[in-house]
Structure 1
Amino acid sequence: MRDTAKHQGLRNQLVSLLQQKGIQDINVLKAMQLIPRHFFLESGFEDFAYQDKAFPIGAGQTISQPYTVAFQSQLLEVKTDDKILEIGTGSGYQTAVLCKMGAKVFTIERQIDLYKKTSKLLPKLGFKPKVISFGDGYKGLVTDAPFDGIIVTAGAPYIPQPLMAQLKIGGRLVIPVGEDKQIMTLLIRKTETHFEQHEFGDFRFVPMLEDKNR
């Protein structure tokens, strides 16, 4: 895998586009300027890696479009050494962005093939999440909670209670909620029992797999 001056030039163009679309968080933009997105795609998509589009990555899943990655990352307001739980490792690109932003990342993937592939790819590229686990995102990671932020990268039909419970007071949960299309939702935990909720318009994600034991 090679990262060339051409790739860097395309990333610079992508970052300019993201800024035009309203992404202002310097840490998000810098991370996306540095990370070779084409490393996270099948070779056949390499020439399209820096378009603002989602692409299939196998197992019925997709790598989110760069704007969506940037938008969710910006909503998290990541600070260095924040503990961030990611639900849906997927290709590992969002994971890499969070690592590059200085977060301590704990990430869960439900698709075994993607888990096996990405758990090898991320360290190979120099990205070292604290935990990459195969498991049920609806349950979160109780043993590593609480988290400063939680990001869900699949469309959830509802907001899972375990994820809310695993958020620190002052922490932020970014989750797309809905069936056919999703509303990007931000929950900020104000107290043990009170969450402030904000909504940021429609997005489209692959569905988050429903746990049988809801």
Structure 2
Amino acid sequence: MKEFDEIVRSATKEQRENLAKLTESAFGDAPDTLCNHIRCLRAGSIGQLFWNDSWKQVVTDVADHIKIDWTSTLNDRRWRDLETQEIEAAVVTKLFQNMLEQLSPEQRQKLVMEMQRDSDDPRLESLLLGGGVMTVARMSGFGVYLLASTMLGGLTNAMGITLPFAIYMGMSQTIAFILGPVGWAALAGGILFTLNQPNWNRLTLAVVYVWMLRYSA
């Protein structure tokens, strides 16, 4: 968990508080506490005592759980050649595409058009509506950040999580207005449908937020 530890130690107090809230860390937001909590989410209260895999393995396990297409992700490479953030970006993109599938064509178009206004990538609309997971994951960092912040807004809304600090860059209110309560429920349902255990829910939120921490560093 060295990589995760370095990321949370570089994060601000505010960012660690957000991560603790997202993952339901009951014992605080200190770096060591967050590391141990991720171990507990992945391996259980007893299993964490014997579990010592890497953050990359945690992200990979989440990717497996949401059924990432490893053939396109690897692109003739081996797993060990992938950077952890590549897998995180693929997770973000896959989850976002799952959410888009739950929307009506009209809602989908409205959402993507609104995101396009704030994006620095002119290809965003065509990529989201027609691109594969890895094609979208390789677009600009800010583009993937928009996906992550939008998706995180929908998930926290549906799961009843209230973060103490704004991290959605103003997207939540705008998109909530466009889609309405039913649209938010559909967005979140696209992810929650695939997550059948509380630990996977929280681990997935952690993966998304850690990718956001990398981009904003």
Q: Same fold (TM over 0.5)?
A: no
Structure with higher RCO (Cα < 8 A, 6+ apart):
2
Higher share in strand: 1
TM-score (norm 2): 0.28
Higher share in helix: 2
TM-score (norm 1): 0.28
